[in-house]
Amino acid sequence: MQKPIKIVLIFVFLLMFITACSNDKETDQSSDSKEKVELTISAAASLKDAMAEIQDTYRQEHPEVTLRFNFAGSGSLMQQISKGAPVDLFFSAAEDKFDRLVEEGKIEKEDGVDLLGNSLVLVVPDEEESVSSFDDLTNTNINKMAIGTPESVPAGKYAKESLKKLGIWKDVESKMVYAKDVRQVLSYVETGNVAAGMVYKTDAVLSDKVKITATAEPETHTPIIYPVGIVKNTEHYDAAKDFYQYLQRDQALKVFEKYGFNIE
């Protein structure tokens, strides 16, 4: 009797093994069957650190999707998309740059949302003591300060608006060093190439080489709003829409809050 029992047990074991292998193979095939997609996201330079973290968490849920980021000033990114650059999503640091693309038909209005907010601050090198307020920028011993190029960098546009509203733009205009994006402004201040700079709060808090000495009052400049949307000519609309929606979920919003952004 023992021999037949052994044969039955061996048969059952082999059957279970074959079934398990078959299931594993089906799982692998199912995973492989998902179309590999590469998305290009043009995003404001101030979003770089937050988006790097979000990229990691999104990859865990969607290994078939590769996210490629193009970080720069929103004005430059807008111009690239306007001229037909192959971009799937645009994440701007300014409403006007985003709205321009909506007006041009590059982004459908229903495929965009105002997602984040930010603050504008005055920063100086960590050991700088001569600048503690915006008024100090007019002092003769302050010969250089940096902002983003107002025509292409939203933070630079907001900075110029704020300095004009404070009535000191004419006194400091000759001292200006213009940068290609807000991260370059921060770099100029960190290295001591300028005595002060105006950047987003989210950038300033990431650096241990600068300190915040003042915050621009919201009423002195255009509201700082970050809209994000799907570019109309994307070849991967469904994948782009999934990532667009993911950016609006709690998991992603908590990352943005961690980096100092306000949730609209």
For the chain, what are the domain ranges? 36-117+225-263, 120-220
Is 240 known to sit in a ligand binding site? Answer: no
- Contact of 236 with 39, CB cutoff 8 Å: yes
pLDDT at res. 27: 42
pLDDT at res. 242: 98
Helical ranges in the chain per DSSP H: 2-33, 48-61, 74-82, 95-103, 154-165, 169-172, 182-190, 201-204, 237-246, 250-258
Q: What is the CATH number of domain 120-220?
A: 3.40.190.10
CATH topology of domain 36-117+225-263: D-Maltodextrin-Binding Protein; domain 2 (3.40.190)
36-117+225-263 and 120-220 have identical folds: yes
- Contact of 90 with 101, CB cutoff 8 Å: yes
pTM of the full structure: 0.78
pLDDT at res. 78: 97
Is 200 known to sit in a ligand binding site? Answer: yes
Is 76 known to sit in a ligand binding site? Answer: no
DSSP classification of residue 175: G
User: Could you tell me the mean pLDDT of each successive run of 10 residues in the chain, 264 residues long?
Assistant: 52 50 45 77 96 97 97 95 97 96 97 97 93 95 96 95 98 97 96 96 94 97 97 96 98 96 90
Rounded to whole angstroms, the Cα distance separating 124 from 194 reads 8
- Contact of 154 with 94, CB cutoff 8 Å: yes
Is 207 known to sit in a ligand binding site? Answer: no
Q: Which of 192, 78, 217 is nearest to 127 (CA)?
A: 192
Structure tokens at 263: 């949730």
pLDDT at res. 35: 83
